[in-house]
Structure 1
Amino acid sequence: MTEKALTAAGQDWEEQARNWIAWVREPGLDSYWRYRDEFFALVPTAGRATLDVGCGEGRVARDLVERGHRVTGIDASPTLVEAARLADPGSRYLRADSADLPFPDHSFDLVVAYCVLMDVDDPAGTIGEIGRVLEPGGRLCLSITHPITNTGSRRDGVFVLDRPYFGRHRFEEEVERKGLRMKFQGWNHPLSAYTTALEESGLLIEALREPRVADDAFPWHLWIRAVRPRLPEVTRT
């Protein structure tokens, strides 16, 4: 694949790549450690070929491999792709734009996009490409930060909406834990932006979850499993 200039989202993640690698590899620091077992309960068992969109440094891909999946991972950040390759040399990792996937139609029976779609430049284009590379009967399992979380803030234990819910709005947040710093950047979209993109890509939602861990007062994540319907058989007379 010819190397291309980084998208805006790719540049954001490339700038934070070293911080992100340290962040996600510190056990218990990121929310993934709280949610992953429940998320993987939503993911189908291993099939022919699994694509991890926005694989980052490969944490989800490695967990998929442990569950028997044959994984290909793509990400826009060259530093993160290299980190994923080094941690999991038995799988395939490529630098690619999620809205322009370098694979033929129907290449995969499962696509996973864990906490990616709120970060990419073109979520509708990404979902369209996912729909294209999924085979009939194949499934997409996605996780996003819940659309409500980036429209407000927590004040005195109460969540207050202080930003518009509808439309596309930029968010940035710097977080420090255990001496590690991470800057999260992306876009907030209403839930309908994602569901409309799924509809237009021919994907049908078959499961939706708002996971709750411990005493969460409101949902931090939203998970969707969608399927590309099988083509009807043609009866010849």
Structure 2
Amino acid sequence: MSTVNSNKKSYNETEIVNYYTDFNAAGLFHYEEILIEKYFKTEGRTLDIGCGAGRVTIPLYERGYQITGMDYAEKMIAAAKAVNGAIDYRVGNILSAPFEDQEFDNVIFSFNGLMLLESYEERLSAVKEVCRLLKDDGKFIFTTPYLDNKVKKSYWSEKAETLGIDTGNMSWEQQLELGDEQLEDYGSEFYLHVPFISEVEQMLEEAGMELLFSARRLDYSGIEKMEDELDDNYLWVTTCKK
């Protein structure tokens, strides 16, 4: 089974669906509120990719955004509709989104969701697809974990040694290999890629995206109420080069 199918299977598991349904209570994270207020058009159309049970979708809907939530896990979408049936939810995959060109003013892919895609090529394709969906001045907000300040820590140095990787002199392929992780949560297995910042920057450049803002989350917005659920991640805001 490919990692995408494995992740999709996990996100359809009852315990994981219940976790994300309960997690709706967290609402928007503080950094999301700041970035959304600064970069998103309230009157525009908004797409929430990997919406889960609606943690981001619901508060944006309540704030007047014309929002669509999309997730590839059918049971997540069913749970989201059960919470609020008035919101436009779709089952769909960002690798081939069921929308027209330039349909959205705002796109968000929260909770490191982009890094759940199994290869650099798929992550690049996803960003290109976001660019297809965005209007000329549309904005894309997403988050990633990042390896730059972790690579010397014991877990990563031991992993690099096991893989035969010299972290002081890595090839592009070795950077990608080092960042690939297989995780377990609530008895379900997940794939997650932890990139270097330069990798994300290169991906955006290849996808035809212009970087408007990036920062370490903790430097930008500080500790969150739900900090135990988060990692030391990075914030990104982009628009398409036209």
What's the TM-score bracket when you normalise by the shorter of the two chains? 0.7 to 0.9
Structure-2 separation of matches of 1:73 and 1:10: 20
Task: Please give the TM-score of this superposition, normalised by the length of structure 2.
Answer: 0.74
Query: In the alignment, which residue of structure 2 is the partner of 1:9?
Result: 4
Query: In the alignment, which residue of structure 1 is the partner of 2:115?
Result: 118
Structure-2 separation of matches of 1:128 and 1:214: 32
Answering whether residue 165 of structure 2 is matched by residue 167 of structure 1, we say: no
Q: Give the match's secondary structure for 1:124.
A: helix
Structure-2 separation of matches of 1:38 and 1:7: 33
Deviations 1:4-53 (A, max 9, x none): xx97324323324322233234469xxx9498122221112423200111
Structure-2 separation of matches of 1:54 and 1:33: 16
| Structure 1 vs Structure 2 CA RMSD | 3.1
Deviations 1:137-186 (A, max 9, x none): 00000012234488576x6xxx86433471144312335xxxx6665432
Q: 1:158-237 to 2 correspondence within 5 Å?
A: 161-164=157-160, 166-168=175-177, 169-175=179-185, 183-212=189-218, 213-214=222-223, 220-229=232-241
CA contact (8 A) 1:136 1:228 kept: yes
- Per the TM alignment, residue 76 of structure 1 is displaced from its structure 2 partner at its CA by 1.3
Query: In the alignment, which residue of structure 1 is the partner of 2:99?
Result: 103
Structure-2 separation of matches of 1:86 and 1:34: 17
Q: Structure 1 vs Structure 2: percent identity of aligned residues?
A: 18
Structure-2 separation of matches of 1:171 and 1:152: 17
Structure-1 separation of matches of 2:82 and 2:27: 25
Between Structure 1 and Structure 2, the one with more helix by share is 2
* 1:90–1:100 CA distance, 2 compared to 1 (3 A): same
Q: Give the match's secondary structure for 1:12.
A: helix
Give the number of equivalent residue pairs. Answer: 212
| Partner amino acid, structure 2, of 1:118 | M
Query: In the alignment, which residue of structure 1 is the partner of 2:172?
Result: none
Structure-2 separation of matches of 1:73 and 1:57: 9
Query: In the alignment, which residue of structure 2 is the partner of 1:76?
Result: 72
Structure-1 separation of matches of 2:28 and 2:148: 18
Structure-2 separation of matches of 1:26 and 1:110: 26
CA contact (8 A) 2:214 2:236 kept: yes
CA contact (8 A) 1:152 1:162 kept: no
Structure-2 separation of matches of 1:152 and 1:61: 37
Greater RCO (CA < 8 Å, at least 6 residues apart)? 2
| Partner amino acid, structure 1, of 2:32 | F
- Per the TM alignment, residue 106 of structure 1 is displaced from its structure 2 partner at its CA by 0.4
Task: Please give the TM-score of this superposition, normalised by the length of structure 1.
Answer: 0.76
**Unmatched segments (≥5 aa) in structure 2:** 161-166, 168-174
**Unmatched segments (≥5 aa) in structure 1:** 1-5, 232-237
| Partner amino acid, structure 2, of 1:105 | D
* 1:214–1:57 CA distance, 2 compared to 1 (3 A): closer
Q: Give the match's secondary structure for 1:185.
A: strand
Query: In the alignment, which residue of structure 1 is the partner of 2:138?
Result: 138
